[in-house]
Amino acid sequence: MTLGILIAHGRKTEYKDEFRKMMDLCCREIPTALGRNGWRVGNDFSVKEIVFCLLEIEKAGIFDKSVTDGWRNDLARINPHETYSVIASVPPERIGNWAAFGAVSEQLRKFAGIGDESDFIDNQIKSQLFSFDENGMYRDPDEPMVYDTVTRLQLAIAIYFGYDGENRKKLEDELVKSAAITLDLQSVTGEIAYGGRSNQFLHCEAHFAALCEFYASFLKKRGDLHKAGEFKSAARLAVENIVSWLEESKTIHHIKNFYAIDSKYGCEVYAYFDKYMVSAASMLYCAYIMAEDDIEEFDCPAISKNGICQTSRHFHKVTCRYNDYFVEFDTKADHHYDASGIGRIHKKGVPSTICLSVPFSKEPKYGIDIENPSHFSVCAGIKTGDTYIYTFDSSTDYKLIEKKVTDEYVLVKFECKTSDGNKVFQTCILSDDGVEVRASGNGEVRILFALFDYDGEQKTEISLSEKNAVVSYKGSQCAYSTNGIITDMKQTYANRNGHYRAMAASGKNSVSLKIAMF
């Protein structure tokens, strides 16, 4: 599909013959794959892409009509019940997001005039309506943040390309409900929230940009030009983030590190370069075709709004934004990928990994090149006997007990009940001076933090003393200072972005850690 889009726009035309052979194969084989192989092959994802490609090729007049009509005739033979992997029951029950991909693939066929499976589309979409939370966010199993964006985008594409079944109004209502939180969760660096599977790939922001372009067009039609302009701004920020990563190295990477592509560092087993780089390209194309350039931009929250955002309990996130700084908490992390506590501290204009973009899992379901000693995040700990109990643990009960948004700062405070019944309080304050994390409790307390050490291509420079630490990386600095004592824990942790050195700031009954980036 990506090659076809490029050829349609005058790029990579030397591969025109090879592209025709690939289209011949795909269009011929997709309708018969189940009968030939005896198993379903995931065409839920591919039919939409093939139709997009066909429409662009036809618009550009790249091939004779006899060629494109041949592709159309082949695709018209698709029977969704014999092509797609996930088919909703009738009447539908809650089912995973593959049903949304099947629905949008069929809606694209209908839009292109090469099929009309309206009943199938409607039933598939109805099966997805069971999975929205009270904010209109999509609850895929274990609530990964990426698949909230991904699935809402698929359903939005169906609407954009003419879905008008009995469930359109309900689906639109969910999309309207989720509009505000979509913007509020975006980091000042343009990135979507962390959490769960498939995170830290370039396709994450590509999906987000496409979703924002849908919202911009959708809200413009409803007369809300200001909110439409905010989504245009958010889409631009997301694309700028993608471009910044593509320009960072001579070798293109599909994930936010610089390890060799074939190492699959930071990747789940299914998240290889060929697959997820194409996903990024495909979703940027979706953003392009839905974009309306006449919509005036207005600053999105990631640029101009100071505040606090709290998701539903299903997604267990709290984000804080003050001017150039952004902090993201996960209060009940999926420990297959993350750890509870602060997992992200970003500042506009500096590399997002220099402080932290995602926390650390002891046994992550993605590839790393070392063993992590434990889960790890920026979080509080309290000494019990001879050991510290840390609030990164999944058994910790986080309770948001205070939040403030003022002209000078944004503050959140959590009461954290640890697995042994002890309590430690964790406060985070964002201001123009940076981010201050405080821990307090009855006894020796700590704040864990991590110093960025290696991105897969180059080492950072780290200076460390009893009260201060500084990380220098690609022309930027992240400086840490404490009123307690910094202890080098002599441990290295790995996340999707690279290696970090574990540190702790300790004090009696209370301790503060200040973080500033330049």
**Residue partners of 485: CB distance under 8 A and separation at least 6:** 466, 467, 505, 506, 507
* Range name among 137-141, 315-319, 417-421 with the lowest pLDDT average: 417-421
DSSP secondary structure string for all residues of 145-156: HHHHHHHHHHHH
pLDDT at 464: 97
Rounded CA-CA distance 204/181 in Å is: 16
pLDDT digit string, tens, across residues 452-471: 999 999 999 999 999 999 99
If you ran DSSP here, which 8-state letter would residue 75 be given?
H
Instruction: State yes or no: cis peptide before 364, omega within 30 of 0.
Output: no
Q: Domain 306-517 falls in which CATH fold?
A: Beta-galactosidase; Chain A, domain 5 (2.70.98)
**If you average pLDDT over residues 46-68, what whole number do you get?**
96
Split at pLDDT 50, 70, 90, the class of 211 is very high
**Residue partners of 187: CB distance under 8 A and separation at least 6:** 193, 302, 326, 328, 344, 346, 352
List where CATH 2.70.98.70 sits in the chain. Answer: 306-517
pLDDT at 272: 95
Split at pLDDT 50, 70, 90, the class of 2 is confident
Q: Mean of the per-residue pLDDT values for the chain?
A: 96
**If you average pLDDT over residues 281-299, what whole number do you get?**
97
Q: How distant is the alpha carbon of residue 22 from its chain centre?
A: 31
Closest CA to 326 of 238, 255, 430, 419: 430
Rounded CA-CA distance 238/176 in Å is: 20
Per DSSP (E only), the strands in 181-300 are: none
pLDDT at 41: 67
Per-residue pLDDT at 40 exceeds 70: no
pLDDT digit string, tens, across residues 235-251: 999 999 999 999 988 89
Per DSSP (E only), the strands in 13-153 are: none
**C-alpha pair distances (Å), 126 with each of 23, 75, 120, 167, 173:** 32, 25, 10, 6, 13
Rounded CA-CA distance 514/129 in Å is: 44
Rounded CA-CA distance 366/337 in Å is: 8
pLDDT digit string, tens, across residues 480-505: 999 999 999 999 999 999 999 999 99
Number of H helices, E strands in the chain: 15, 15
**C-alpha pair distances (Å), 301 with each of 186, 231, 365:** 8, 10, 32
**If you average pLDDT over residues 136-140, what whole number do you get?**
98
Question: Which residue's entry shows tokens 């003022």?
Answer: 406
Q: Which two tokens stand for residue 227?
A: 């909110």
Split at pLDDT 50, 70, 90, the class of 170 is very high
Beta-strand pair 485-495/461-464: unpaired
The pTM of the whole model exceeds 0.85: yes
Contact 366, 334 (CB under 8 A): no
